[in-house]
Structure 1
Amino acid sequence: MLLFAKAIPAFAIIGICSALVISASSDPLPPGTTYRPLPTRPLSEIRADDEAQKPQVMARQADLLNRRYDLTNQPIAGVMMSGGKKPVQAGVRVKLPAGVTWDSLAAMSPDEIRQRGLLPEGFMPLPHVKQATGGQVFPDRQIDEIRRQESRDLRRFDVNFDLPDHLTAEFPPPIFLTTQPHLGDVSRGQLLTIKNFYELMNGIVTPVQMEGLRLLLTPFPQEEFNQTEDRKVADQSMGVTCLDCHSNFHTNSAFHLTPDVRPQSARFRLDTVSLRGLFNQQIHGSKRSLRSVEDFTEFEQRTAYFNGDHVSATRKGVHLPDRPNQVAMMAQMQNIVDFPPAPKLDPFGRLDPAKASEQELAGERAFFGKGRCGECHMPQTSFMDNNMHDLKLERFYRTGQVANDFVALPDGPIKTFTLRGIKDSPPYLHDGRLMTLADTVEFFNLVLGTRLTQQEKDALVAFMLTL
């Protein structure tokens, strides 16, 4: 384990929710606890401390993001997300170390990159905006719409969302159903909530699916958004819902920390994934490999929304859904959510040469050939393989590095995510560390050692935009 002399800033460990106990040691993995500590101070004191520290917390995260990425608004001309309201962003946003090009970096061995410290910071795991506390963080558009419709406040007083809106998913995203493909987007351009779901979905879904939808939209008192002393909202709240994060069964780019790792400083950021295409997915959760959507739904309802702590969940008012009469109905609703249309793909998930451009066809060849993407992202299973893979990124950097109180350890095996409709789901990778599809191409070109030319990289992006 590498040792670092730099102390973790005091503001990051003040507060009740911190699971870290800082010792005199400079070890980057200070002692932690498996369970979240119980609050010992009044909410008014916690809030005052958090609000005083918030400007410094947000400034520190902004410094990290601007050091790692070009965060400017650079849309691809004429390329929109599936709802037609938001353009897809262009270009590689990860910044290179001085004096290095993408081609020169790709020509180096992992050992050389690690020894010289040349792995771009944007390829490193991305810290939570407030790592020592963690918890779900929602973008402003979701917060504002839930407040408007339900008078329920998802805004935390200790942190704000940290990425610019143009680098996140379209909001609200369209909803496509496997049972009603002829209807197209059934959301009517609205965010589905407990206030409007019946009117929007009546006559479209079955009674069983409607009841599952009601439960998915019902707030339960878990995680930071609840009545307990360690909550991070100013007003008492019933909590959060499944579809607060998975807006319209897609993603709003909200993030949390993985429930599967301890201590707190080693828990990696977890970006909200889309629920589109669950009917083809056999494993759920980035690392836990839960084997059904029923298991996943029940597990998250019982363990405080991605904290993986049933003790904390019980104290806050855990929801214990009935497996046959509630969980099964929630799963039935989730399992009819479809991908957006991909008119250039044939029934086998390959490009129709009569509809695709030469660049898109070249990208498809690179995808299934030199780029090696198709080895994990298989078209017959919605461009995934229902397996978990370890990219061993730690070959390229020294483990134990600390960034904003997050300790970078090996990612280990992570499940393969679907690429269907991928243009709708920025940012990318399990922790959202890659802002654009062009970033993902550069990342995998380096990690897999594929030595793609610039023409092949551009073609790969063009192909993924058709999916």
Structure 2
Amino acid sequence: MSTLKQVIKTAGPIAAGIVGACLLTGKIVSAAGQEAQPVKNSYQPVDDKETFASIHSRMVAAKPAIMQRQMDLLTERYDLSDRPAAGVVMDRTKPIQEGVRVKLPQGVTWTELSRQTPDQILQKGIFPQGFLPLPHANHPEGGMVFPKTEIDELKKQEDRDLTRFDLDFDIPDRFLAEFPAAIYLSTRPDLGDVSQGKLVTIDNYYEMFSGILNPKQIEGLRLLLTPFPQQQFNQTNDRRSDKASRGVACLDCHQNGGTNGAFHLVGDIRPQEFRHRIETPALRGVNIQRLFGSQRALKTVEDFTEFEQRAAYFDGDHVIAAKKGVNVLDRGSQVHFMAEFEEILDFPPAPKLGWDGKLDPTKATPAELHGQEVFFGKGQCATCHSGSYFTDNTMHDLHAERFYKQHMVNGMMMARDGAIKTFPLRGIKDTPPYLHDGRLLTLDDTVEYFNLVLGTKLTEQEKKDLVVFMRAL
């Protein structure tokens, strides 16, 4: 019996009412009114079960509690106060935040913690919460979330709104990269920052770059700035924007080829609670990188661009992508043109570094030189971050799960991170927060994390000087 009429005829109006409710909710309910156990499923439902007005009303009502839960988690894990480093800025004028922001368990010091074995830390339950994987602002829901700076500027320039009615961005702006980011081109280093202090958009890119880029690069930039449908921003009822949306552009996350901290969930893991939050990395220096995607190990930036457009934009579900209007780019022209622009985005100048990535002793401070010694020695940083760009272009699994028991936090399973690509450290001070999910808010946090996970047992002075060295990269 495949229709509601057949059910009514054979089972009566009460059962028919139950089945009718199933059609709206998507739940499987027996004639006795008992809800059946759900089947494990890699796919999202394609057909709409609820009107947009109903979805909107329900999610708007739930938003305050969801955001409060996330902000409570951040406050529990981190010191979110405004403590800028004196005299140290990012690309132009925005100060970087300093100090270890990850909170320790009561009665524990960093020195004492570093003396414990991974098993002791696990058994005592004293692994710092801020070192655990960071959940999405609403992990069961997921999707792209943009910071207010990006949202406001795109509204102003393009009248395009990336606001989600169900979620807000969670990490405070002081811990994000400067907005808009500076743009340095490997083809024209003589120009310095070519951004003119503006966010590059579809409205201004041509006047800014005509005469600087070649025709293929200009066309690639246009495509990187063109919004295409995406999981949360599209024209269907199952979207998370108030109005039907033109979609999202590549450089909405990688603003000016840098990063604005926008986050979403990786598309290649199921079930939902095991998916990892992914924070937007900068595109600077992709020409010297040989792996793309923090965990997927895609071999070229063209692979990454095509994969993102075809599937990752839609939570890795090509069926949903077809429904929501996936824009399939041509590999031989469009993808190639986009990559040609991406591959001339350069790292920022590092006036204290020589051609080999080492400090010039005549320009560096004693603290920087000591930090470099720690980096290439006791700190073991160069084991992975090698060469003049500080990457070995491979992947490493730190096995941080040695330190904690698997458990659920805000809808996310605190499980293993797995193998993560070695990101280059050139210009690292300009692109907080750190690690693939943004769980480390400062360079000081990053040093403490690796000191514990690698067991290097650095002294306080060694840790401070290591931070100073990384600021010079």
TM-score normalized with structure 2 length: 0.91
Counterpart of 2:95 in structure 1 is 87
Deviations 1:153-206 (A, max 9, x none): 100000000011101111000000000001000010000100100011111100
Deviations 1:49-73 (A, max 9, x none): 0000000001000110000000011
Deviations 1:187-228 (A, max 9, x none): 100001001000111111000100000101000112201101
Offset at 1:308?
1.5
Offset at 1:413?
0.5
> Does the residue aligned with 2:445 lie in a helix, a strand or coil?
helix
Corresponding letter in the other structure for 2:131: F
Given that 1:176 and 1:339 are in contact with CA atoms closer than 8 Å, whether structure 2 keeps it comes out as yes
**Sequence identity, in percent?**
57
Deviations 1:313-332 (A, max 9, x none): 11111111111111110110
Q: Where does structure 1 lack aligned partners over 5 or more consecutive residues? A: 1-17, 22-29
For residues 66 and 389 of structure 1, what CA distance do their matches in structure 2 show?
30
> Does the residue aligned with 1:379 lie in a helix, a strand or coil?
coil
| Pair 1:397-2:404 in alignment | yes
Alpha carbons of 1:129 and 1:458: their partners in 2 closer, same or farther (altered >3 Å)?
same
Corresponding letter in the other structure for 2:427: G
Given that 1:174 and 1:186 are in contact with CA atoms closer than 8 Å, whether structure 2 keeps it comes out as yes
Offset at 1:20?
12
Alpha carbons of 1:20 and 1:250: their partners in 2 closer, same or farther (altered >3 Å)?
farther
Counterpart of 1:388 in structure 2 is 395
| Pair 1:346-2:354 in alignment | yes
Given that 2:220 and 2:340 are in contact with CA atoms closer than 8 Å, whether structure 1 keeps it comes out as yes
Deviations 1:25-44 (A, max 9, x none): xxxxx975312223310111
Counterpart of 1:196 in structure 2 is 204
Given that 1:19 and 1:32 are in contact with CA atoms closer than 8 Å, whether structure 2 keeps it comes out as no
Counterpart of 1:15 in structure 2 is none
Counterpart of 2:112 in structure 1 is 104
Counterpart of 1:35 in structure 2 is 43
Counterpart of 1:230 in structure 2 is 238
For residues 424 and 58 of structure 1, what CA distance do their matches in structure 2 show?
27
For residues 271 and 285 of structure 1, what CA distance do their matches in structure 2 show?
11
Given that 2:314 and 2:320 are in contact with CA atoms closer than 8 Å, whether structure 1 keeps it comes out as no
Corresponding letter in the other structure for 2:430: D
Given that 1:156 and 1:232 are in contact with CA atoms closer than 8 Å, whether structure 2 keeps it comes out as yes
Alpha carbons of 1:313 and 1:20: their partners in 2 closer, same or farther (altered >3 Å)?
farther
Counterpart of 1:70 in structure 2 is 79
Alpha carbons of 1:19 and 1:269: their partners in 2 closer, same or farther (altered >3 Å)?
farther
Q: How does 1:429-448 map to 2 (within 5 A)?
A: 429-448=435-454
Deviations 1:370-393 (A, max 9, x none): 00001100133x111110000000
For residues 290 and 368 of structure 1, what CA distance do their matches in structure 2 show?
28
Offset at 1:438?
0.1
Corresponding letter in the other structure for 2:253: C
Given that 1:257 and 1:306 are in contact with CA atoms closer than 8 Å, whether structure 2 keeps it comes out as no
Q: How does 1:103-182 map to 2 (within 5 A)?
A: 103-182=111-190
| Pair 1:208-2:216 in alignment | yes
Given that 1:426 and 1:435 are in contact with CA atoms closer than 8 Å, whether structure 2 keeps it comes out as yes
For residues 301 and 314 of structure 1, what CA distance do their matches in structure 2 show?
12
Corresponding letter in the other structure for 2:397: D
For residues 303 and 329 of structure 2, what CA distance do their matches in structure 1 show?
11
Given that 1:261 and 1:267 are in contact with CA atoms closer than 8 Å, whether structure 2 keeps it comes out as yes
Deviations 1:341-395 (A, max 9, x none): 0000001110000000000000000000000001100133x11111000000000
Given that 1:304 and 1:313 are in contact with CA atoms closer than 8 Å, whether structure 2 keeps it comes out as no
Offset at 1:249?
0.6
Counterpart of 1:333 in structure 2 is 341
Given that 2:266 and 2:312 are in contact with CA atoms closer than 8 Å, whether structure 1 keeps it comes out as no
> Does the residue aligned with 2:74 lie in a helix, a strand or coil?
helix
Corresponding letter in the other structure for 1:389: H
Given that 1:70 and 1:95 are in contact with CA atoms closer than 8 Å, whether structure 2 keeps it comes out as yes
Alpha carbons of 1:306 and 1:109: their partners in 2 closer, same or farther (altered >3 Å)?
farther
Q: Which of 304, 311, 314 matches 2:319?
A: 311
> Does the residue aligned with 1:457 lie in a helix, a strand or coil?
helix
Deviations 1:407-453 (A, max 9, x none): 11111111111111000111110000000000000000000000000
For residues 243 and 222 of structure 1, what CA distance do their matches in structure 2 show?
14
Q: Which has the larger radius of gyration?
A: 2
For residues 39 and 464 of structure 2, what CA distance do their matches in structure 1 show?
46
Given that 1:20 and 1:264 are in contact with CA atoms closer than 8 Å, whether structure 2 keeps it comes out as no
For residues 96 and 269 of structure 1, what CA distance do their matches in structure 2 show?
23
Offset at 1:304?
4.7
Counterpart of 2:70 in structure 1 is 61
Alpha carbons of 1:278 and 1:260: their partners in 2 closer, same or farther (altered >3 Å)?
same
Alpha carbons of 1:58 and 1:455: their partners in 2 closer, same or farther (altered >3 Å)?
same
Q: Where does structure 2 lack aligned partners over 5 or more consecutive residues? A: 1-24, 29-37
> Does the residue aligned with 1:305 lie in a helix, a strand or coil?
helix
For residues 149 and 33 of structure 1, what CA distance do their matches in structure 2 show?
41
| Pair 1:296-2:327 in alignment | no
Q: Which of 441, 447, 455 matches 2:461?
A: 455
Given that 1:32 and 1:264 are in contact with CA atoms closer than 8 Å, whether structure 2 keeps it comes out as no
Given that 2:121 and 2:127 are in contact with CA atoms closer than 8 Å, whether structure 1 keeps it comes out as yes
For residues 240 and 318 of structure 1, what CA distance do their matches in structure 2 show?
11
For residues 40 and 281 of structure 2, what CA distance do their matches in structure 1 show?
28
For this pair of structures, how many residues does the alignment match?
Answer: 439
Deviations 1:232-264 (A, max 9, x none): 000111100000000001100000001121101
Q: How does 1:222-301 map to 2 (within 5 A)?
A: 222-301=230-309
